[in-house]
Structure 1
Amino acid sequence: MKIAFIIFLTFFYMGYAHTQNADFEWAIANGGSFIDVSMDNHTDLNGNVYTSGYFYTTVDFDPDIAVLNLTSNGDEDIFIQKLDANGSLLWARSFGGTGDDRGANIVTDQLGSVYISGTFNNTMDADPGPNVFNLISNGYSDFFILKLDLNGDFVWAKSFGGLSAEYYINMDVDAGGNLYLSGSYRDSLDFDPSNAVYQLQANGNTDVFVQKLDTFGNFVWAKSIGGAEADLNNGISTDNYGNAYLTGSYRNTVDFNPGNGVFNLTSSGIDDVYLLKLNHTGDFEWANSFGNVNNESGRAIHVNDSGFIFLAGTFQNTIDLDPSGGISNVVSNGGNDVFVVKIDTSGAFEWGKSFGGTMYESCSQIISNPAGELYIVGSFLGTINFNQTNSISNFTSNGYNDIYILKLGSLGDFQWAKTIGGPHQDAMSSVSLDLSQDLYFSGNYQNTVDLNPDTGILNFTVNGYTDFFVLKLDQCIVNYTTDTIIACENYTWMDGVTYNTSNDTATHILTNVEGCDSVVTLNLTILYGNSSMDTIVACDNYTWMDGITYSSNNTTATHVLTNISGCDSVVTLNLTVLNSSAATEVISACGPYMWIDGITYAASNNTATYTLPNAVGCDSVISLDLTIDNVNTMTSLSGITITALGTGTYQWLDCNKGYAVIVGANAQTYTPIENGDYAVELSNSNCVDTSACIQITGLGVNDNFSINDIHIFPNPTNGKINVTLSEHHLVSRVFLINIAGEVIQNLWIDSEHLNIDLEALTPGLYFLSFETLNAGRLTYKIVKE
């Protein structure tokens, strides 16, 4: 059986978790009858995993029941295997010559192209397809770089080397598809793979080189660093800006500035760890080192997207991991322990950790996920404690060397550890992550090994001396999201809790589509509604904001609006209804009347209205009830008698004496006793008006009528008087008039003698007025005693 899956159940718990374990998903193993070794693996953007290494004789590279045999041309040839995320073979390629050819590193770029680096000797056909592209080494072993497309077809190949042997080559690719190569070399070496020459000379036993090629394999630049002793490179990693970071070991004093400047570092003992940063043009940025009197070496390096550098290596005894002047001592438990250091992009120390047992431990690779958590792989012997803060993570190897997988948090805190091993030597060469944060491992084993690091068992037995494997762990990566909510008054969240105030600390764990924890943090802002009183004083009725017309006082009605925060604003009505008033103004006028409305009414009116504010500020509607009593001041004149045509009470006036009241002249008629102008003052109800003055003439003695012609006796009298008229035919009538001008008696003349009875009259002055035909009216005073 070449591939196996374990079906398992994961129980999710409700609670906050910083990380979760990685569970076994599948493992495959390939090998022939001799030595077959995996050196590196890499995942592309589609979740496919590429494994590179070397093999000898014939190997079936299809982990399924199908067969894809590849056979080496010489001692050892190079292989590339591409599997999908389920562990199924997509393709496999091999190439090599008659000598020893080994694949060292494999990377992919964003376009899916595959780059393989390694060493070869003699002549090697670098085209794994039917065509031939021979590379010829200059010495015992040279470096090669091969580019394949995503289907495994040949694109180009380059080689460079000197007369001596070149050592392990490391590789990384930047976002632009440029390749950064590093390793160790001796003597002199031409680093330009074209016909041009770019020769560098080693200073000592072995020096470190770093080289940049573009995506077409063209030479860009190369640098060399080294002193008089053996200086080794074990890893290279690039950041998002094309800066290159290298680590390894050095002895004595080394100038780490590959340019014209000098930046010397001196080891504390035999071998110390170095960390070097060059920019994208190969210029020196900075270098750090740390170590003690023993052998220390940087074995693996990784730079994450945030620019932090993670460095892993081995040490003995006590070592200060802080290269920037501070102190961060760790102490080994036995032979070689493993250290892990985090450095920022400027070279400043962040933190350092170590783990190990009483025997020897090594590390092969270190990587990080987007959260800054670390995965470290390597091998160990004996019993090892991965959690230096306590003893709960002790593991004991099954054989000579077992494999470990360790996860640390972003602060270097222990998360989990797993081990794999059989009775012989087993080694983990590489680890990579896909976009789903699933882990892929490649390594080598001997004899029989259980490749399931969990409680299940999945044994593989080697076909030859050493076989290689690829292992996938399905890792539940916790998703962290924030649920931002703005609510009014309160909010019942997904955790079932009703929050009445703002909250940015509550969390709730869901299960995401991958079956892993999704930690949701609440970011709740509670806004509040408000209440207010709408106090209104209105007249008669009021139509409020709720559309209802209220005709009486109201303090209970409410209406809900939206306030500036978007919450309810409850308004309570406080309505006082005041009443308008109405009144009628009854007016009696004696003539045209100007009312409060400014209009002059000439006739009675009971329809006009006028509105004024009343005492409470409401309308007071005044209705007019106007009666105009017009006083009839018309008069008529009959002879010398003036008659008032209107009704009412009368007062006759002497116009020539300033409208002096004629005492006793209160009758409707008035007969003056002397010439003059006379008017009547007429009173009707409350109205008083005066007539026009009437002129009276012709009263008194006439020249044509002698005084002797009329005889009146006795005068004064206490009863009767006798009147003798010698010419009675000239007198038409005789009037007895009182002092008020009233005619008391009206007598007709038919003889010379006239008797007039005054006995019933009040004593006083009276007048006899004779109306003549030729002399007008003659008036005589009569005194009644």
Structure 2
Amino acid sequence: MQIVIHQSITFTVMKSFLVGLLIIAFSCPCQAQNPVLEWAKSTQGNRYSLGKSIATDKSGNVCIAGQFRGTVDFDPGTGVFSLSANSVWDVFVQKLDDQGNFIWAKSFGGYQNDQAYGIATDALNNVFVTGRFSDTVDFDPGAGVHNLHSNGNASYDCFIVKLDSNGLFQWARTIGSTSIDEGSAVTTDNSGNVYVTGLFSGTVDFDPGTGTSLLTSNGVEDSYILKLDSAGNFIWAKSMGSTFGDIGRHIQIDGLGNVVSTGTYTGTVDFDPGSGTYNLSSIGSYHTYIQKLDSNGNFIWAKSVGSTITAGNCVAIDLNNDIYVSGIFHVIGDFDPGSAVYNLTPKGNADAFLIKLNSSGNFLWATSTGGNSFDASTSVSTDRSGNVFATGSFSKTVDFDPGVSTYNLTALGSYDAYIQQLDSNGNFLWAGSMGGTGSDVGYSMAIDGKRNVYLTGLYTKIADLDPGSGVFNLNSNALNEAFIQKINQCANGGVDTQVACDSIVWIDGITYKSNNNTAQFRLLNKQGCDSLVSLNLNINRSNQKVDTVNSCTAYTWINGVTYSANNDTARYILTNSTGCDSIIRLNLKINSSQRTERIKACDSLKWIDGITYTEDNDTSQITFINSLGCDSVVKLDLNLGRSSSSVDVATACNQYTWLDGNTYYASTEAPKYILTNSGGCDSTVHLDLDIKKVSSDEILVKDSILTSQATNANYQWLSCGVETNRILGANERTYTPVLNGNYQVVITQNGCIDTSECIPLNYYVVPVYGPFNCKSIYPNPSHDRVYLELGDLENVEISLYSLHGELIGQERVEAGPVHLLNLELPAGVYLLRVNSGNLNHSCRLEIN
């Protein structure tokens, strides 16, 4: 039934960068090849179990919903994870990873029959399950309790339950009447909203919250569509039905968020759930309908196909928003929902059909599959390459090629499960069967983003779950068991035989430096196929050698290049016997040398040729014979600098520190100092120093007259104190102070400046006369004016001096008794002198 082709691709790579060719080769799409079984797993119990619906999540895990009786081990590996049913049938939810390893399993059920019909996941890997239950059921599979009650103990109500990715309970909702209500299928959109379709009877409140949204069936049972948000809150509900029985069987969301559903109806049904009318009528009982609503539940279109007893079981939507519906039909029927006719005729009691419509509901093609017994399709799905897969059950011998060719499969038992693959145009690609001598059914399928196909259903006794030529038997310990299988569409890869030199960077990004036949890498092409490639690597070795050459003249090497100087960097690559590089490195020494002696000297140079050169020279040369017998030519490049000398004429006062670091105190012409000039030669500097001095810095004091002992000089007398201040106008050799104090003179002579020591003068005695004293001056201190109480003094001379004896101001007052003296002076201490007749009084005055 299938042949696996292992490709052996050989590249001889002489340079490691050519490995890029390998990557290009493996980037091509998978070639046409039959899908192969990757793994198959089953539950193991003591009664019954069957998988009714399957879905994959964003992480590549697979989730299965179904029902079971008795005790069942849901861990398909070596471990054990058993759950026990409370009643005839309980619901189970099982999660495996993409390798078929057990992650978790949950169950819930009461004491009646509880069954799961649909499962879905959302973008966050939450799990949603729908079906029907009776009586009271705790829908929290964990330690908590969340009981829901059906509206009639003998009836069934629909349930919708949400678990997170770890199987933890999130919420559960129920809708129903006192009759039969069930959820047939569930799906989600990109926003996490939840959609359920199924059947209901009587009047049902479809708002599972505190609100009310009543719908009433027109007949025994009507189909419905319910939309909840991710938290289980009601958004909208719609119903469609006639006075007979109508059932919603499956539902999907297209790429634009529209809601596409399929099911069966009888009689005349208005498929516009809004205020409009869009009637479709069946011929006989059970026609298949396909209905499309927008995300708000508004009617877009509805189509009807088939004839008496035609049931649409499943709907799928491809990347182009084209729609596929599969199911079962019993008599000849028209499967073109438009004005044209496209009849399909069953070959036996019932055949499977598959129909494709575009996004507008227009007919594209239809096929049927069956033999002379009973055959049905229960599920359909598409991959991202546009291929369509169907599963179900068949009996006896069936031709699974709907075209002119034949591809027969024969059931080993009463019924076998099958998988059929067609391309987007309905052309046959491949088919396979799974089963044994009992009854085996494929109920549901899902395809992940890597185009892996997952199936679930039931098998009995011993069943071969490999749809290809291989054998993979599963044994049933109970009357029937649930199976889960993964089928890989893509090529299984091959062996990449590589021959490389020294090392290679393979498609896994690893650098290999030795032979290797164990490395493997899984490639993913643009169709989503992954392919396991094995490496068969043979590493050959490059070699190197050095070509050592001695030559008296320029040398032409194997690379055609002539070298006139020593060289140890030249490389030349040949190919050795293994096809790898043979790298030759040149080690060349030119023994006939020529060199230039570049010499800088001062004034003259006697060179190796015995000649003394007193000028620059770049023409002289001398030739020797070296130890290898080759000429050794030495050229002279002479640059002569010139020595120089200069005199540093300096004049200084008292002393002078020269550039030799010495301090000289007398005139001299003896010192000299040697520097280096710009030509690099000696520059001798001679010192011609003239030391000037002041003839004398002494002061002669006689009475109140101060006389400098220095003659023929410039003078500036100073008053010594807290601050030394120049005395204005005191620039003569002699100076007569008007006050006692300390004085010194600055002498400028012969370009030199010298300052004498401070000399004290105590010549003046200040007498105190009459009633006028320093208390007669007030306020003191003062800011800008003082009063003088002069009494009966007449012809009073008032003089103001600085503390250094400098006269600041003077005025004369004819008579008292009180005189106001306005002062505009900087803050400081002054001397105020009052003279009148025999009165000569001096007082300290402070201005602030």
Whether the TM-score (by the shorter chain) exceeds 0.5 is: yes
Q: How does 1:423-438 map to 2 (within 5 A)?
A: 423-438=437-452
1:246 is displaced (CA, Å) by: 1.4
Tell me the distance in 2 between the aligned counterparts of 1:268 and 1:209.
22
Tell me the distance in 1 between the aligned counterparts of 2:453 and 2:210.
42
Q: 2:89 aligned with 1:73, yes or no?
A: no
For residues 601-632 of structure 1, the C-alpha deviation after alignment (integer angstroms, 9 at most, x for no partner) is xxxxxxxxxxxxxxxxxxxxxxxxxxxxxxxx
Asked if the contact 1:380/1:401 (under 8 Å) is kept, the reply is yes
The match for 2:198 is 183
Q: 2:6 aligned with 1:10, yes or no?
A: yes
The match for 2:133 is 120
The match for 1:354 is 368
2:188 partner amino acid:
V
1:16 is displaced (CA, Å) by: 9.2
Q: 2:277 aligned with 1:281, yes or no?
A: no
For residues 466-505 of structure 1, the C-alpha deviation after alignment (integer angstroms, 9 at most, x for no partner) is 11111111221799xxxxxxxxxxxxxxxxxxxxxxxxxx
Tell me the distance in 2 between the aligned counterparts of 1:431 and 1:513.
18
Tell me the distance in 2 between the aligned counterparts of 1:458 and 1:511.
27
The DSSP-based 3-state class of the residue aligned with 1:47 is: coil
TM-score by length of 1: 0.59
**Cα-Cα RMSD:** 2.5
Tell me the distance in 1 between the aligned counterparts of 2:310 and 2:366.
15
Tell me the distance in 2 between the aligned counterparts of 1:151 and 1:420.
31
The match for 2:189 is 174
Tell me the distance in 2 between the aligned counterparts of 1:19 and 1:267.
41
Asked if the contact 1:446/1:467 (under 8 Å) is kept, the reply is yes
Give 2:51's match in structure 1, choosing from 35, 38, 52.
38
1:442 partner amino acid:
T
Asked if the contact 1:183/1:210 (under 8 Å) is kept, the reply is yes
For residues 629-661 of structure 1, the C-alpha deviation after alignment (integer angstroms, 9 at most, x for no partner) is xxxxxxxxxxxxxxxxxxxxxxxxxxxxxxxxx
Tell me the distance in 1 between the aligned counterparts of 2:168 and 2:230.
16
Q: 2:138 aligned with 1:142, yes or no?
A: no
Q: How does 1:327-406 map to 2 (within 5 A)?
A: 327-406=341-420
2:463 partner amino acid:
V
Asked if the contact 1:379/1:428 (under 8 Å) is kept, the reply is yes
Q: How does 1:484-563 map to 2 (within 5 A)?
A: 514-515=530-531
Asked if the contact 2:384/2:527 (under 8 Å) is kept, the reply is no
1:88 partner amino acid:
N
Higher mean C-alpha displacement, 426-435 vs 67-76: 67-76
For residues 101-149 of structure 1, the C-alpha deviation after alignment (integer angstroms, 9 at most, x for no partner) is 1122111101111111111111111111111111111121111111111
1:304 is displaced (CA, Å) by: 2.2
For residues 344-387 of structure 1, the C-alpha deviation after alignment (integer angstroms, 9 at most, x for no partner) is 11111112222211111111110101121101000011111111
Q: 2:455 aligned with 1:441, yes or no?
A: yes
2:388 partner amino acid:
L
1:189 is displaced (CA, Å) by: 1.1
Asked if the contact 2:458/2:483 (under 8 Å) is kept, the reply is yes
Tell me the distance in 1 between the aligned counterparts of 2:193 and 2:121.
11
Q: How does 1:218-229 map to 2 (within 5 A)?
A: 218-229=233-244
Sequence identity, in percent? 37
Asked if the contact 2:93/2:107 (under 8 Å) is kept, the reply is yes
Tell me the distance in 2 between the aligned counterparts of 1:221 and 1:284.
13
1:328 is displaced (CA, Å) by: 2.1
Unaligned runs of 5+ in 1: 1-5, 480-508, 518-785
1:84 partner amino acid:
D
1:66 is displaced (CA, Å) by: 1.1
The DSSP-based 3-state class of the residue aligned with 1:27 is: strand
Q: 2:258 aligned with 1:262, yes or no?
A: no
Tell me the distance in 1 between the aligned counterparts of 2:300 and 2:165.
35
2:297 partner amino acid:
G
Asked if the contact 1:24/1:473 (under 8 Å) is kept, the reply is yes
Asked if the contact 1:31/1:466 (under 8 Å) is kept, the reply is no
The match for 2:166 is 151
Give 2:145's match in structure 1, choosing from 110, 120, 132.
132
1:392 is displaced (CA, Å) by: 2.9
For residues 282-330 of structure 1, the C-alpha deviation after alignment (integer angstroms, 9 at most, x for no partner) is 11111111223x3112111112232111111222343222111122222
The match for 1:55 is 68
Asked if the contact 1:186/1:205 (under 8 Å) is kept, the reply is yes
Q: How does 1:584-623 map to 2 (within 5 A)?
A: none
The DSSP-based 3-state class of the residue aligned with 1:357 is: coil
Judging changes above 3 Å, is the alpha-carbon distance between structure 1 residues 45 and 334 closer, same or farther for their aligned structure 2 residues? same
1:198 is displaced (CA, Å) by: 1.2
1:61 partner amino acid:
F
Q: How does 1:367-766 map to 2 (within 5 A)?
A: 367-476=381-490, 514-515=530-531
Asked if the contact 1:19/1:478 (under 8 Å) is kept, the reply is no
1:71 is displaced (CA, Å) by: 1.4
1:54 partner amino acid:
Q
Asked if the contact 1:427/1:443 (under 8 Å) is kept, the reply is yes
2:345 partner amino acid:
V
Higher mean C-alpha displacement, 309-318 vs 369-378: 309-318
Aligned residues: 482
The match for 1:109 is 122
Tell me the distance in 2 between the aligned counterparts of 1:406 and 1:475.
12
1:86 partner amino acid:
Q
2:146 partner amino acid:
F
Tell me the distance in 1 between the aligned counterparts of 2:313 and 2:261.
10
For residues 409-457 of structure 1, the C-alpha deviation after alignment (integer angstroms, 9 at most, x for no partner) is 0101000000011112111111111221111111101111111222222
1:29 is displaced (CA, Å) by: 1.0
Asked if the contact 1:476/1:516 (under 8 Å) is kept, the reply is no
The DSSP-based 3-state class of the residue aligned with 1:366 is: strand
Asked if the contact 1:57/1:71 (under 8 Å) is kept, the reply is yes
Unaligned runs of 5+ in 2: 10-24, 494-524, 534-848
The DSSP-based 3-state class of the residue aligned with 1:197 is: coil
2:192 partner amino acid:
G
Judging changes above 3 Å, is the alpha-carbon distance between structure 1 residues 239 and 478 closer, same or farther for their aligned structure 2 residues? farther
The match for 1:307 is 321
Asked if the contact 2:29/2:527 (under 8 Å) is kept, the reply is no
Tell me the distance in 1 between the aligned counterparts of 2:60 and 2:123.
12
1:17 is displaced (CA, Å) by: 7.5
For residues 228-254 of structure 1, the C-alpha deviation after alignment (integer angstroms, 9 at most, x for no partner) is 111122111111222111111211211
1:10 is displaced (CA, Å) by: 3.4
1:125 partner amino acid:
D
Q: 2:271 aligned with 1:271, yes or no?
A: no
1:107 partner amino acid:
A
1:515 partner amino acid:
S
Give 2:210's match in structure 1, choosing from 175, 190, 195.
195
The DSSP-based 3-state class of the residue aligned with 2:170 is: strand
Judging changes above 3 Å, is the alpha-carbon distance between structure 1 residues 512 and 115 closer, same or farther for their aligned structure 2 residues? closer
For residues 663-714 of structure 1, the C-alpha deviation after alignment (integer angstroms, 9 at most, x for no partner) is xxxxxxxxxxxxxxxxxxxxxxxxxxxxxxxxxxxxxxxxxxxxxxxxxxxx
The match for 2:336 is 322
Asked if the contact 1:146/1:156 (under 8 Å) is kept, the reply is yes
Q: 2:227 aligned with 1:231, yes or no?
A: no
2:270 partner amino acid:
D
The DSSP-based 3-state class of the residue aligned with 2:436 is: coil
The match for 1:528 is none
For residues 579-617 of structure 1, the C-alpha deviation after alignment (integer angstroms, 9 at most, x for no partner) is xxxxxxxxxxxxxxxxxxxxxxxxxxxxxxxxxxxxxxx
For residues 23-70 of structure 1, the C-alpha deviation after alignment (integer angstroms, 9 at most, x for no partner) is 111111113111111111111111111111111121111111111111
1:462 is displaced (CA, Å) by: 1.2
